[in-house]
Chain A
Amino acid sequence: MRFQTMAQNYGEIKIPTKVIPKRPNGDENSLLLDMINGSREKEQAPKSEDIQPIQSPVETASFQADSEPNNPTTQLPDDQLMVDVQNLTKIYPGDVKAVNNINFFVKQGEFFGFLGPNGAGKTTTMKILGTLVRKTAGTAKVLGVDVDSNPDFIRRQIGFALQEISLDHLSTGKETLVLQGVLHHMSKKEAEIRADELLELFKLKEAAKRTVGTYSGGMRRRIDLASVLVHKPKLLFLDEPTEGLDPQSRQSIWQYLKQLNDEGVTIFLTTHYMEEADLLCERLAIIDQGVIVALDTPETLKKSIGADIVNLTFDPTQGPVNNETIKTLISQIEDISEIKFLDDTISVFTQNGANKVPAILNLLSGEGIKIESISVSQPSLNDVFLKYTGHQIREEETKTSVVNPMTRMWVRGGR
Chain B
Amino acid sequence: MKNVITETYYLALRSLKETLRIPMSIIFPILIPLMQLLIFSQVFKNVSNLPGFTAGSYLDYQAPSIILMTVMFSAGNSAFAMILDLDTGFFDKLLLAPISRISILLGRISAEAIRIFAQTIFMAIIITVFIGVDNKSGVPGIVLMGILNSLFGVAYGGIFYFVALKTKNAQAAQAMFPITFPLLFFSTALMPKALLPDWVKTIVSANPVSYIIEAYRSLFTKGFESGPIIDAVTFSIIMGIVTLSLTWHAFKKLVK
Contacts and interface: CB of A to CB of B under 8 A. Distances in A.
Interface of A: 45, 47-48, 51, 130-132, 152-153, 155-156, 160, 162, 164-171, 175, 179-180, 182-185, 211, 227, 405, 408-409, 412-413, 415
B23 to A, nearest CB: 12
Interface residues of B, number: 29
B85 interface: yes
Given A166-B88, A168-B85, A169-B88, A45 B98 contact: yes
B98 A171 contact: no
Given A47-B3, A160-B96, A162-B89, 10 more contacts: A48-B3, A130-B96, A131-B95, A132-B92, A162-B92, A166-B93, A168-B14, A175-B14, A185-B3, A185-B6
A171 B17 contact: yes
Given A131-B96, A171-B14, A415-B256, A182 B21 contact: no
A182 B98 CA distance: 10
28 contacts: A45-B98, A131-B95, A153-B98, A155-B97, A155-B98, A160-B96, A164-B88, A164-B89, A165-B89, A166-B89, A166-B93, A167-B90, A169-B88, A170-B17, A170-B18, A171-B14, A171-B17, A175-B17, A180-B93, A182-B6, A183-B10, A183-B94, A183-B97, A409-B86, A412-B86, A412-B92, A412-B254, A413-B254
A413 B18 contact: no
Contacts of B99: 183
Contact of A162 (B3, B93, B97, B256): B93
A166 B168 contact: no
Contact of A48 (B1, B18, B87, B89): B1
B14 A179 contact: yes
Contacts of A153: 98
Contacts of B7: 183
A175 B6 CA distance: 16
Q: Is the interface of B mostly helix, strand, loop or mixed?
A: helix
A168 B10 contact: no
Contacts of A45: 98
Interface string B237-256: 00000000000000000101
Interface in B72-121: 85-90, 92-99
A226 to B, nearest CB: 13
Given A152-B98, A184-B98, A413-B168, A167 B14 contact: no
Nearest to A48: B3
A227 B94 CA distance: 12
B43 interface: no
Which of A45, A156, A412 has the most chain B CB within a 10 Å cutoff?
A412
Contacts of A166: 88-90, 92-93
B1 to A, nearest CB: 7
A402 to B, nearest CB: 15
Contact of A408 (B1, B89, B95): B89
A143 to B, nearest CB: 13
B22 interface: yes
Contacts of B95: 131-132
Best-buried of B3, B85, B98 by chain A (most CB within 10 Å):
B98
A160 B6 CA distance: 22
Interface string B167-207: 01000000000000000000000000000000000000000
A295 B51 CA distance: 88
Contacts of B94: 183
B231 to A, nearest CB: 38
Contacts of A47: 3, 98
A59 B99 CA distance: 23
A170 B22 contact: yes
Contacts of B89: 162, 164-166, 408
Contacts of A170: 17-18, 21-22
Contacts of A227: 93
Contacts of A51: 2
A113 B90 CA distance: 24
B98 A167 contact: no
A357 B123 CA distance: 86
A210 to B, nearest CB: 12
Nearest to A51: B2
B18 A168 contact: yes
